Amino acid sequence: MITREEIANVLDQPVYDGDGNKIGDAKHVFFDDMTGRPEWVSVKTGMFGSNESFVPIRDAALVQDHLEVPYRKDHIKGAPNVDVDAGGHLSETEEHRLYDYYGINWDSVLSEAERTDDGRWAAGPGTAGAAGAAGVAGTTGEARATGPDDTAAGTAGGMTGRQDAMEREGMRGDEAMTRSEEQMHVGVERHESGRARLRKYVVTEEVQQTVPVSHEEVRVVREPITESNRDEALSGPEISEAEHEVTLHAERPVVETETVPVERVRMTTEEHTENETVRGRVRKERIEAETESLTDDETRRGRG
């Protein structure tokens, strides 16, 4: 991590990425008002230094005559463009954008800035120790830049979005008290609730169907001798033995089976939404004013 004493060796010096590629030249360094630590360095990039990109300086290292940062050149050049006001301050919103872009957890930065190594609340160095304190009490979410001509005492503006962490301690210089409360945020998660499958198996069923069948039966027909059939009746021998055979036919049911497709079956899922009540406990702070009246004796003693 770059210390305040090393800032003079950083400004206007080349900045390289971890692969040894030159990114540009360091232009400004932004300090955290609460810890006094360097937080950001702006690097002049592009042709003739026409662009200015912000890079976290917390993990940077001063190597001989240049500053080395653990981010690739193309990643730094793609950082979001942020506006710095006339006073050289970086707003809390812009700083959040930069933290998100570089994948830095804002909560970890906040917790690091809330306390010093001995467990006390951190105070900004400011000018002679006063400007930083004023920034914490009055400004909102800023970081101030220092350039080559700035002195070490006057380079710590604000990043005073950290003010919220300090106000949780209780009363401040304006004797105001912050009331906080917990809020419950309910989300949903998807989990496996069961499984369904299609299984095909074979069953045998009794099928009944009525079909007509026919058969032949013998019926003896006797005809009297007439003039029309007399010649046929007398054509054979007068007395003899003879046989005449007739083949009888009958129908019987014949069963055959044929496999034919009858339908296609598939499974789909349908999503049904229903309301479910979720209960939880949240804590809230309450602020009440208490007054105490003096007795007559205390009032008289005060007047005496």
Q: E strands of 141-297, at which residues?
A: 142-146
134-138-144-146 Cα dihedral, nearest 10 degrees: -20
Average pLDDT estimate for 183-211: 90
Angle between helices 92-101 and 106-114 (to 10 degrees): 120
pLDDT tier for residue 166 given thresholds of 50, 70 and 90: very low
The pTM of this model reads 0.40
Closest listed residue to residue 188, CA positions, set 253, 275, 118: 275
Average pLDDT estimate for 14-25: 89
Res. 111: pLDDT tops 90: no
Type and span of the H or E element at 131:
helix 131-138
**Helices then strands (H, E): number in the chain?**
7, 8
Please provide the CATH number assigned to the domain covering 4-166. 3.90.50.10
Give percent of the chain with pLDDT exceeding 90: 17
Res. 228: pLDDT tops 60: yes
Tens digit of each residue's pLDDT (9 = 90 or more) over 259-272: 999 999 999 999 99
Return mean pLDDT, the chain. Answer: 75
Distance CA 160, CA 133 (A): 10
Q: Give backbone dihedrals phi and psi of 108, rounded to 5 degrees, phi first.
A: -70, -35
Average pLDDT estimate for 146-151: 46
